[in-house]
Structure 1
Amino acid sequence: MEQPHSFIRSQTPNHVCLLKKSLYGLRQAPRAWFDKFSTFLLENGFVCSSTDPSLFILRNGQDTVLLLLYVDDIVLTGSSPSLLSSLIHSLSLQFHMKDPGYLHYFLGIEAKRNSTDLFLCQTKYAIDLLTRAQMIDCKPISTPLSQRPYILQSDSIPLSNPLEYRSLVGGLQYLTLTHPDIAYATNMLCQKMQQPTIADFNNLKRVLRYVKGTISCGIFLHSRSSKQLYGFSDADWAGCTETRRSTTGFCTFLGSNLISWTAKKQPTVSRSSTEAEYRALASATAELTWVSFVLRDIGLSLSSPTRLFCDNQSAIALTANPILHARTKHIEVDFHFVREKVASALSMCVIFQALTSLLIFLQNLSHGSLILTFVPNWELVLYPFPICGDVKAYKPKSKTNAGDQEPSLNGNKEDEVKKFKLKSKIDTMYGS
């Protein structure tokens, strides 16, 4: 180590500078701040979460306090007001900080609460993004991307300055925290970061026009929801016309609360729809496993196995098949990962169900779709779970009009025999 220029002392050439205070702009500043703050929390009884290093948990008898740290922004909640007050007082004595009261704005996310629900939105952030793009007065539109894009020859010309495109798309990525309806469109725009064209910039402006129309939308979190953790997984096989790669889409729920979602292009080309669906299952399984670990750290125990819904029977059959066939060796890692989760005592159940509404993460939104209406009323309690790792084939019951009767065995016997054979085949494949 050498002395820096303009700070060389000839009397002590072997001495070096000692950093007494970390300043903003230095690379070691965030690390030094986190070390100091986390050390104080650990000395006062907090425990760092094993799944999220920015989450700290304090348990004092029957009371629990959760502290979430992002650089110098802190979210603090707990079950005891007196314990929270004493902790805030201890933090204010150790660090220069202020208490703005109940959570209402955090990292660009607005929180609006009442006695039972919490509404998260990014209205101010969306307005700032539209202002930066000079589209605050643009005309709203009902869909983020065109269903049938018509590209002119002049639209394929690369942008002369792609910095604005990259900056705005990066802003859209953060907006997807409360806008899952633009997850697929943002994913498509992010794939053009390297060399965007005029057509890509026009698509970006269309998404911004859609954001203008849904600027006040967000995510509702209900406090009286159940503690059932479940997810939905789907894949758009070979949906990319340029690379023929598939797109993974999944979302996870805690009761009726949507807590995470993803739309992402798969890293490799899938040779069959089963392979694409199974890779999506593996990604959803990893997300559900991480969420279950976070819930375990904060003291929330799940009352039943995690359920993962899928609409591909071949992929579900692979989760229940203990024999690794030669045709599945190219997805061997994903196969073993999902299979172990299904077979273990802490695992999940994979259930078949048509997931038409999950297309929000895989395709363009149709005309009139809204963020608050894309989740239908799914019937989730379908089968009892006598053992963990149970895999069932499920088809929703068709709704019958008043006066309609169930078909009797005395009707068309041929159809009844076919139904019985089909039921026997399903029971043989997935267990009775």
Structure 2
Amino acid sequence: LALQSKWHVRQLDVLNAFLHGDLEDTMFMEQPPGFVNPSFPHHICKLRKAIYGLKQAPRQWFATFSGFLLDHGFTQSTADSSLFIFQQNDVFLYLPIYVDDILFTGNDAQAMSSFFLQLQGRFHMKDLGHVSHFLGIQAQYSDIGLPLNQRTYAAQVLNKAGMTDCKPVLSPLPTKIASSTHSNKNFTDPEFYRSIAGSLQYLTITRPDISFAVNFVFQFMHSPKVLHFQLLKRILRYVKGTTDLSLQFRPDSFDLSAFSDSEGDTSDRRSSIGFCIFVGSNPVSWHAKKQPTVARSSTEAEYRALAVTISEILWLRRLLRKLHMLSPTTPTKLYYDNVSAMALASNPVFHARTKHIEVDYHFVREKVHSGEICLAHISSQDQPADVFTKALSAARHNLLCSKLMALLDPSA
């Protein structure tokens, strides 16, 4: 929204955020070491404010800060409780918050500066200027838009895994996973495996190209084998060769569109679900997940994937309407490559073959009939969501990454 409207996005930081929180309950603490009153060594302190280390501190800080915003004309988004919106006449201000890190944008620079002075008067706050590094995500404006990357974070993960000088590969997973007696042995350090896998999961915020691979290795967190650790190292080798990969955001329309896909797994017969959702040509949401139950047919598996995708679409539609970016009457196009699942969403006559499908999945049909969702067919060859459901060859993987706007950073 800010990129399309050419608004400045400012980054704010609150100093000692948790110390601003007001306590609702009466709490006491022991005198801290080094600050014990010699006259009353056995006395305890009554807390007047929240303090770091207190379990309630994050919640109380958020309650204090959000209360201040609500008192000054902001409203809290029902789609995302961390987003606050100010609207008065033709002035729009948007303020999303993550703990003590805040982004601030709007269509009126004077109103933004005026409100920032009010924030400074209430909280110890710094204006860090135009957003450049937020929660480990680097953002650097360019002539074509705003590329987002986690280059520094990726280097830290590689260093943590001891693979800074590893040999790069062209795809995150092999198309065929070979097994052997040696590979089926338990990995000797499962804690290390979980730590690296968890670090890679945060990297998927700007790297949709590794979402399926990370989801795959996550399925063995409870008891990883040597084979699974080898696959984890392959993902790291792929990251090593693609550290310059950025998610490119460009000024475009606010049209919402989505792509969804499902792929079977011969190992446990549970299908993988994948989707990606775009605002204009910019990807804003993607997902790769193994289905919780076994489907009785490929049509049922694809239909379930539609339901998961539509749930995310409905949430995004609600959020975009709150941001005044989407008309309620504008349908969202959902592209799919399975004709049977599309027919099932539009035609209830297949009762004999669908009566075993859980009722909650049938809300797909309701949303199609209401006009909120418009299903459209796309060939499997052109389906970008394919990258979220299975391991692909290097050429195919790179082609789909380009469709996701995950391109090499022009400045690299």
TM-score of the alignment, normalized to the shorter chain, above 0.5: yes
User: What range describes the TM-score normalised by the shorter chain of this pair?
Assistant: 0.7 to 0.9
Of residues 282, 289, 295 in structure 2, which corresponds to 1:270?
295
Q: What secondary structure does 2:376 align onto?
A: strand
Contact 1:142 1:369 in 2 (8 A): no
* 1:119-172 deviation digits (Å, cap 9, x = unpaired): 110000000100111111111111111122223212211122211100100011
Instruction: Please show how residues 207-286 of structure 1 align to structure 2 within 5 Å.
Output: 207-223=235-251, 225-237=252-264, 239-241=265-267, 243-286=268-311
Q: Return 5+ residue gaps in structure 1 as ranges.
A: 8-14, 378-432
1:195 alignment partner in structure 2: 223
Report the alpha carbon displacement of residue 307 of structure 1 after superposing the two structures with TM: 0.7
2:353 maps to amino acid:
R
Aligned to 1:325: 351
Does residue 58 (structure 1) correspond to residue 86 (structure 2)? The answer is yes
* Counterpart among 151, 157, 182 of residue 123 in structure 1: 151
Who is 1:408 aligned against?
A: none
CA distance in 2, matches of 1:331, 1:308: 21
Contact 1:247–1:362 (8 Å) recurs in 2: yes
Query: How far did 1:312 drift?
Result: 1.0
**Structure 2 counterparts to residues 278-317 of structure 1, below 5 A:** 278-302=303-327, 304-317=330-343
* 1:8-44 residue CA offsets vs partner (Å, 9 max, x unmatched): xxxxxxx997431212222101000000000000001
Aligned match of 1:336 in 362, 368, 389? 362
Change (3 A) 1:350 1:2: closer
State the distance in 2 between where 1:6 and 1:19 align.
10
How big is the shift at 1:368? 3.6
Higher relative contact order (CA 8 A, sep 6+): 2
Q: 1:108 to 1:376 in 2, by over 3 A?
A: closer
Per-residue CA distance 1:344-368 (angstroms, 9 max, x = gap): 14x1111121133332111113124
User: 1:143, 1:369 within 8 Å by CA — same for their partners in 2?
Assistant: no
Is the CA contact (8 Å cut-off) linking 2:147 and 2:246 kept in structure 1? Answer: yes
- Separation in structure 2 between the aligned mates of residue 126 and residue 54 of structure 1, nearest angstrom: 27
Say which SS state the counterpart of residue 167 (structure 1) adopts: helix
Separation in 1, partners of 2:30, 2:157: 43
Contact 1:249 1:261 in 2 (8 A): yes
Deviations 1:80-119 (Å, cap 9, x if unpaired)? 1111111211111111111110010111111111355111
For residue 198 of structure 1, what is the amino acid of its counterpart? V
What is the one-letter code of the residue matched to 2:297?
A: S
Closer, same or farther in 2 for the Cα pair 1:336/1:17, shift >3 Å?
A: farther
Find the partner of 1:95 among 108, 118, 123.
123
Cα distance 1:322–1:368, how it changes in 2: closer, same or farther (>3 A)? closer
Instruction: Extract unaligned runs of 5+ from structure 2.
Output: 1-24, 32-42, 405-412
Q: Is the 8 A contact 2:190 2:224 kept in 1?
A: yes
Q: State the partner residue of 1:366.
A: 393
Q: Is the 8 A contact 2:272 2:289 kept in 1?
A: yes
Superposition TM-score, scaled by structure 1 size: 0.80
1:139 paired residue number: 167
Identity in percent: 45
> What is the DSSP-based 3-state SS (H/G/I as helix, E as strand, rest coil) of the residue aligned with 1:26?
coil
In 2: Cα distance, 1:17 partner to 1:188 partner: 50
1:330 shift after superposition: 2.4
Aligned alpha-carbon RMSD (Å):
2.3
SS of residue in 2 equivalent to 1:147? coil
Query: After the TM superposition, which of the residue ranges 356-365 and 366-375 deviates more from structure 2?
Result: 366-375
Distance 2:360 2:26 in 1: 50
SS of residue paired to 1:277: helix
Corresponding residue SS for 2:140? strand
Which TM-score applies when normalising by structure 2?
0.84
Say how many residue pairs are matched: 366
Cα deviation, 1:303-358, whole Å, max 9, x if unaligned, reads: 7311111111111111111456132122242443111111114x111112113333
* Range 301-310 or range 277-286, more displaced: 301-310
Please state whether the residue corresponding to 1:154 is helix, strand or coil: coil
1:4 and 1:289 mapped to 2: Cα distance?
45
Question: Going by fraction, where is strand more abundant, 1 or 2?
Answer: 2
Distance 1:140 1:366 in 2: 15
Checking the alignment, whether the CA contact within 8 Å between 1:217 and 1:371 is kept in structure 2 is: no
